[in-house]
Structure 1
């Protein structure tokens, strides 16, 4: 129990019905408009198409990188941003997922605060027992112990909790297992077919939570199989699997997922444990809300890098010729690094994925045009 205490499960009947309806309609609308794509990713030096189709939706200008592929958010409706969607249905879908994001943030904060209260109570109870066992301890020593305990038991400050639960995007996944020719078997605990193998989620803020809303398009046959008493995992039902990282001695956990169920991975669970997705028989959507590390992954960041590099470029007032202000090795090297980052981490990553984002919105076209303009100037500087 203690090994998996930071996995919080919420059944669908705890979620407002109106939110269920909005979110599930958004999933179907995005599928109907062909907005879900397989990603080309690199694993151990080889390129693969993911069996799961995905779309990234979130704060304008955010990106998320996994397995050497950078995804760019389809922005959800945000004040002060002019976002044009290709259809009202796509607008409504993004708005619904933003509503879900807000709901999951609130639920995650509650769950973390609840865990902190529980942990503080456990520490306090252990302290009471310890005091009884050490009754002879001097009053002075007891005073110092109380002082130390107060620092240990101090609840996490609100800012820290907010930083680790303010989801800035969701990676929406879709998979129909019947369309897959082959699904890998779970190798350690005999859990059956895997849709997604054991992994940690990458490039997240340290100790940040992950919240997942699951929606499997279950039919009556699956519902009937759920009511049967089965030994082990019901292969018709989707599950999330969890194990201690790099440990196959501690028993793994497989939690069944039905329409509208939610689970939260709190605190450092994503670092200390690995999770997988175990396939059922019905198509399934999942909205996986994350606090992506935005230190190097936002449009604001990369535009700032360009402006930093271009500070070393000057224009002759007479001839209008361009030249470098400084030829110091450190300055020239920094410009080269920024030039490479713009080209290989942003422009190539965006365009090799084709025009997929235009199925939803043209929001990224202007920023990419601006980045290309910066890149041309950087080309002059490094040539």
Structure 2
């Protein structure tokens, strides 16, 4: 195993890879990452699947069969994506078993076009849960206002959930409330809480992308000093909110009933600004009990030259609050930033889903 990644894991950070594809599975690459790079989980999203499907040869046999059967486009996409996710879940099953269900998880996102439709999100979550039929699956549900009741309903039905596209601290608090409400309902419904898991995916680098763009327009020395600081500050304050929520009597009652905590997951951890270190969103967010899901380039970079400087989250909250306050003083509205990022996130994933549909449609037509 890689020493740097082993040290990161030993510091309490679960290393997941933010990518899945038929090629990665068929070549045994995912199994190698588990063995050699401390990877203990997989996340996917519409953009990742759109990229995977660009290698059409990897999916040719399945696409041909779907075309011969006359399967419609939406169902064909479900068949293709759930096949990959089921395969990845099987590869990770030993990790799931030895971690007692904490890790070894694979995430599959609901059609992002449903992000503002609660009932359809719930129905799709149930359908995907049945289709994949693996206990180490996470259904990804966006943390939109409309997604919150869907998160609760899915958990109440015994479905493990990865809550995605979280940017705002207030929304994150609402996500944790939806999680606990879901577990309370699951318990009332007779589900074994120890079998239900969840992570909350807090997006990191995109915050800097949006904030730094605004800082550059201001252009003062003070603005320049704040570049590259907002995302880490926001994530650290999210962990403070996590500590507060999971220190309550409400949580302790659920924990006593067998529930697992909803771990914070740092998503969007690749560095977009070439002036920043390529491992900054890993090194600066190390603490016990979190997940960091990395694109392969970030994983490789950390394995090569990443450093662990102990816990870089706990005890930083006052400094993080000052960063947000300084941004507000310059006229950069936190609320506006996170609202823009949520809307953009939904739109980008919907665009990727459209691209995925177009790719599969083209292959289905070509296979006839």
For the aligned pair, the TM-score class normalised by the smaller chain equals: under 0.3
User: Over alpha carbons, which structure has the higher Rg?
Assistant: 1
Bigger fraction of residues in helix:
2
Bigger fraction of residues in strand:
1
- Normalization by structure 2: what TM-score? 0.24
- Normalization by structure 1: what TM-score? 0.23
